[in-house]
Amino acid sequence: MMRFLALILAAFIAFPALAQAPAGARRALLMEGKQTLTQKVLTRPGATLHATPGAATGTPVPGFTLFHVYARQGSGAEAWIEVGRDATGTTEGWMREERALPWGQTMVLAFTNPAGRERTMFFAEGPALRRVILSRDMAAAGAEARRATDGRVIALEPETYVDISRNFYLLPVLSAEEVENERGDRMRLLEVASAPAERRNAPPPRDPLADFRGALVFVVDTTLSMQPYLDRTREAIRNVMARIGTTALRDRFRFGLVAYRDDLGGNQALEYVTRTHARADFSAPADAILPRIAEAAAATESNEGFDEDAVAGLRAALDAADWNSLGGRFIILVTDAGTRDATDPRSSTRLGIPEMRELLKQRAIATFALHVLTPEGRNNHARARAQYRELTRFDGAAEPFYYPIPNGEVAAFGQTVEAITEALLRQVAAVTNTPIAQLRGGPAAAAPQVEQQVDVVGQAMRLAYLGRVQDAAAPDIVRSFTTDRDLADSNRANLDVRILLTRDQLSDLRSALRLVIDGANAGRLQPQTVFANIRNAALSAARDPRRIGNLERLGAAFGEYLDGLPYRSQVMELTERGWLELQSGGQRELLNALEAKLRLYDEYARTPALWTQLGSGADAGAAVFPMPLDQLP
């Protein structure tokens, strides 16, 4: 019988603090070839703890409890392991080794939003999945496996989306390898520990969408040239407010407005880099936004250069709503210029578009960009277009949510901003079954691109919200095999492979990254000294001399927990010869990317909502965050 995967939520898991053992205390066994990483196991259902190996009676332990291994005894069916819940030297007893699953590195999987794709299959055996990947027609082979009743597929992902950043769960990766077929599709074949559960047919006690609410925050460029578009944005908000003011939708939706300009550069007449005129605030009446947005006005003087600090405005928008409480999460960026990137000394955040997109993705916010193509900005259009197409990519959508406004026509801009705004409102109304007869027009009134893209967003956010408000159960544990790409379309990711980092490990990663950057900058005029600089700094920082050695590759300056992960990294594999071959331009580009990555880690560290404190008595440094592998150095 086909089963449906139920995720193991944090409430059911004991996770150990990863603190160092006190001097003189026992230490957990190390993984083979490692100096700091301990052997870890996850318990199977039915595992019991015993005072001694072979003792007749034992204490039951919940499935998916994580233990460190302190000792081993016996072999085969009589193999026992001594375990403890933390790395501080305290053991809790012995269990049969067969009742535990080894978990070498703390890799986990996180589902992407399933909107617009088939649900992920979990295979009983790795070879069966490998045959599908390597078949001549992978999509057809995958469809045939989905229909099969021979037991090769034992589970499907949940029907609704569970956001790991909001409802933490464990889907541990036991092993991983990269597989490439003859068409050049490259994907990871993953062995995972998962919990299957039968589909529940009982209806929920109340409508799970009863409390669904949405917010749209406009992030508007208010530099000298933007007054007509600011006025038209305000008009769009007023028009929508007037039409929903007497409907139930009024209580389901809020607007916010963040204005941004640019680095003042000593010109105080520019007044600010960002200013939040109105938060999307459900504690205030819906129309409370109107007098607040009336205060917004374009600058009276021009900034230096054409680029502005749009990333700063987007960063401010992350604080302009209580996004975690919302089902519909939307931002519309309005601008006529590109944004300063992470390397620009006038950038107030020193974040680039890739880092900003990651922060928006972590909060599951859909971002639309309205790019006003004025004649004055013609030399900036191509750069800005590339930036905003990257920013507005949304998982499951065929095209970015990027809307150019030819010739800067105010009328066309107004039609577009109202079309997107009303389409988003219609999605919230449809999800909540709220009448919106007063809204102007229907789907036919908006451009097909708007309706298609907003449909994708609406479905994704509905699934995400349902996943957050509905519980999952975990009655059993099985080993299964899956892949991180959609078998019907390998360009789409259905799973993110992540590494579970503690706050202490992220702090170590930030320190190592800073050490590498400073060492490289110190050798800017003498590139051949860079690796020696980094090696000396790493040794003086009390890093393991045996690991660093002669620093043959840059990855030795980082923690062992990054070794052997299934991701490709120019940085981790970089040798001294490779560094010199990059020459000055390539070296500066690499360092700029590392600087931007470091600032992204700073954002991770200062965002409490991303972190989960697991287990009882765990210290703050043991809180965990599932970092995507593609955000590692």
Instruction: Say if residue 443's pLDDT is above 50.
Output: no
Q: For position 20, what pLDDT does the model report?
A: 52
Spacing of C-alpha 443 from chain mean position: 31
Residue 81 contacts residue 69 (beta carbons within 8 Å): yes
Least Cα distance to 362 among 566, 172, 561, 112 occurs for 112
Q: Residue 455 falls within a domain, yes or no?
A: no
The torsion of the CA quartet 509, 511, 512, 518, rounded to 10 degrees, works out to 140
Q: Are residues 261 and 338 in the same domain?
A: yes
The model's confidence at residue 252, banded by pLDDT at 50, 70 and 90, is: confident
CA distance 301 to 501: 46
Total Cβ atoms within 10 A of residue 297:
13
Which of helix, strand or coil describes residue 560?
A: helix
3-class secondary structure per residue, 104-124: CCCEEEEECCCCCCCCCEEEC
Sign of torsion over alpha carbons 41, 46, 51, 56: negative
By percentage, how much of the chain surpasses pLDDT 70? 84
Q: What is the pLDDT of residues 524-576, one digit of tens each?
A: 778 788 778 777 777 666 555 555 555 677 777 776 767 777 776 777 877 88
Strand-pair partners of 550? none
What is the pLDDT, as a whole number, of residue 468?
64
Contact 273, 262 (CB under 8 A): yes
From 288-297, 359-368, 511-520, 560-569, the region with the lowest mean pLDDT: 560-569
Residues 244, 167 share a domain: no
Which residue is listed with tokens 């990663």? 509
Q: Name the band, by pLDDT with cuts 50, 70 and 90, for residue 137.
A: very high
Q: What average pLDDT score do residues 165-176 get? A: 75
Q: Is the pLDDT of residue 219 over 90?
A: yes
Same-domain pairing of 112 and 13: yes
The torsion of the CA quartet 620, 625, 631, 633, rounded to 10 degrees, works out to 40
On whether both 228 and 348 belong to a single domain, the answer is yes
- Residue 451 domain flag: no
Residue 589 has what pLDDT?
87
Same domain, 227 and 370: yes
Whether residue 83 contacts residue 69, with contact meaning beta carbons closer than 8 Å, is answered with yes
Q: What is the dihedral of CA 615, 616, 621, 624, to 10 degrees?
A: 20
Label residue 448 exposed, middle or buried (CB < 10 Å: 0-12, 13-18, 19+).
Answer: exposed
Whole-angstrom Cα distance, residue 44 to residue 49?
12
pLDDT of residue 442: 43
Closest residue by Cα to residue 380 from 417, 423, 440, 337: 337
Residue type, 15: F
Across all residues in the chain, what is the average pLDDT? 81
- Asked if pLDDT for residue 17 goes beyond 70, the answer is no
User: Do 226 and 192 have their domain in common?
Assistant: no
Higher pLDDT, 454 or 122: 122
β-bridge partners, 95: 81
Q: DSSP class of residue 258?
A: E
Q: Tell me the average pLDDT across 355-377.
A: 92
SS3 332: strand
Q: Are residues 262 and 375 in the same domain?
A: yes
Token pair 């072979």 in the structure block, residue: 54
Strands (E), 198-240: 214-221
Burial of 175 (0-12, 13-18, 19+ CB in 10 A): middle
Q: How far is C-alpha 384 from the chain's CA centre?
A: 24
Where does residue 403 rank: exposed (0-12), middle (13-18), buried (19+ CB within 10 A)? buried
> Is residue 469 included in any domain, yes or no?
no
- How confident is the model over 407-432, as pLDDT tens digits? 999 999 999 998 898 888 888 888 87
**Residue 372: pLDDT above 90?**
yes
**Residue 610, helix vs strand vs coil:** helix
With 0.85 as the threshold, say if the pTM is over it. no
Quick one: how many helices (H) and strands (E) in the chain?
Answer: 13, 26
What spatial distance separates the first Cα and last Cα of the chain, rounded to whole Å?
43
Closest CA to 483 of 209, 139, 21, 2: 139
Lowest mean pLDDT among 75-79, 320-324, 446-450: 446-450
Strands 107-111 and 100-102: unpaired
**Mean pLDDT, residues 74-98 taken together:** 87
Is the model's pLDDT at 12 over the cut of 50? no
For 589-630, how does the pLDDT look when each residue is reduced to its tens digit (9 = 90+)?
A: 888 888 999 999 999 998 888 887 765 445 666 678 888 888
Provide the β-strand partners of residue 193. Answer: 479
- The dihedral built from the CA positions of residue 72, 77, 78 and 84, taken in this order, carries a sign that is positive
Q: How many domains does the chain have?
A: 3
Is residue 189 a contact partner of residue 179, using CB atoms and an 8 Å limit? yes
Residue 607 structure tokens: 């965002």
Amino acid sitting at position 1: M
- Residues 439/425, Cβ–Cβ less than 8 Å: yes
H-run or E-run covering 299: none
What secondary structure does DSSP assign to 455-499, as a single string?
HHHHHHHHHHHHHHHS-------EEEEEESEETTEEEEESEEEEE
For residue 72, being part of any structural domain is answered with yes
Assigned domain for 59 exists: yes
> Do 239 and 116 fall within a single domain?
no
One-letter identity of residue 170: L
- pLDDT class of 472 with cuts at 50, 70, 90: very low
Structure tokens at 174: 């036991």
Residue 390: phi and psi, rounded to 5, are: -65, -45
Indicate if 427 and 481 belong to the same structural domain: no
- The answer to whether residue 336 is domain-embedded is yes
Task: Report whether pLDDT(478) > 70.
Answer: no
Helix residue ranges per DSSP H, 84-225: 126-134, 138-147
Q: Which of 449, 631, 629, 614 is nearest to 9 (CA)?
A: 614
- Answer yes or no: do 39 and 155 share one domain: yes
Residues 6+ apart with CB under 8 A from 175: 190, 191
> Is 461 within a domain?
no
Q: What is the mean pLDDT of residues 59-74?
A: 86
Radius of gyration of the chain, Cα coordinates, nearest whole angstrom: 27
Quote the pLDDT of residue 10. 42
Cα 163 to chain centroid distance, Å, stands at: 9
With tokens 């374009």, the residue in question is 298
What residues make up the domain containing 78? 1-198+477-493
Quick one: pLDDT at residue 247? Answer: 76
Model pLDDT, residue 547: 55
For residues 54 and 132, membership in a common domain is answered with yes
Would residue 457 count as lying in a domain? Answer: no
Specify the pLDDT at position 96. 92
Query: Could you tell me which residue, 574 or 125, shows the higher pLDDT?
Result: 125
Regarding predicted confidence, which is higher, 10 or 213? 213
Same domain, 489 and 510: no
Q: What was the pLDDT predicted at 466?
A: 72
Q: Which of the residue ranges 18-27, 182-191, 199-208 has the most confident prediction, judged by mean pLDDT?
A: 182-191
- Token pair in block for residue 249: 């939708």
Residue 471 contacts by C-beta under 8 Å, 6 or more apart in sequence? 9
Q: Is the dihedral of CA 242, 360, 279, 164 positive or negative?
A: positive
- Measured CA to CA, the distance from residue 303 to residue 272 in angstroms comes to 11
Give the Cα separation of 540 and 458 in Å (integer): 53
pLDDT of residue 445: 39
Least confident of 18-32, 103-117, 429-443, 456-470: 429-443
